C-alpha cells in the first residue's frame, strides 16, 4: 500500500481531525524513498494518538448509554404520570355518574 492509499483510508476512518493530523504528520516524516519507516519516537506518537482515540470513543459510548438510560427513565415517568392522570379522570367520571 502506498502513502496516498494509506492516507485515504485514514481520512475515511473514524479518527478525529486532530488525530488524523498527527497521523499524517508521522507518515510524512516516516516516508523515506516511498517506504514508510516509522521511528520509535513516531511509533510512540501513533500509539498515543490511537490510545486517546480509543479512550475518547469509550467515553462517548458511556455518555450515550447514560443519556439513553435517562431518556428511558423520563419516558417511563411520563407514561406513569399519564396513566395516573387517566385513572384519576376515570375515577372522577365514575363518581359523577
- What is the residue extent of each domain of the chain? 3-96
Which distant-in-sequence residues (6+ apart) come within 8 Å of 54 by Cβ? none
Q: How distant, in Å, are the alpha carbons of 55, 66, 75, 76 from that of 63?
A: 12, 5, 18, 20
Average pLDDT of the residues in 61-69: 97
pTM tops 0.75, yes or no: no
pLDDT band at 1 (very low <50, low <70, confident <90, very high): low
pLDDT at 96: 80
- Please indicate whether residue 48 or residue 35 has the higher confidence score (pLDDT): 48
Amino acid at each position: 500500500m502506498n502513502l496516498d492509499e494509506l492516507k485515504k483510508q485514514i481520512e475515511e476512518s473514524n479518527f478525529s481531525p486532530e488525530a488524523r493530523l498527527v497521523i499524517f504528520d508521522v507518515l510524512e516524516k516516516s516516508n523515506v524513498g516511498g517506504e514508510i519507516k516509522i521511528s520509535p519516537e513516531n511509533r510512540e506518537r501513533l500509539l498515543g494518538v490511537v490510545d486517546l482515540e480509543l479512550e475518547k470513543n469509550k467515553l462517548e459510548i458511556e455518555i450515550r448509554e447514560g443519556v439513553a438510560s435517562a431518556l428511558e427513565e423520563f419516558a417511563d415517568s411520563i407514561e406513569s404520570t399519564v396513566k395516573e392522570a387517566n385513572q384519576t379522570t376515570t375515577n372522577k367520571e365514575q363518581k359523577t355518574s
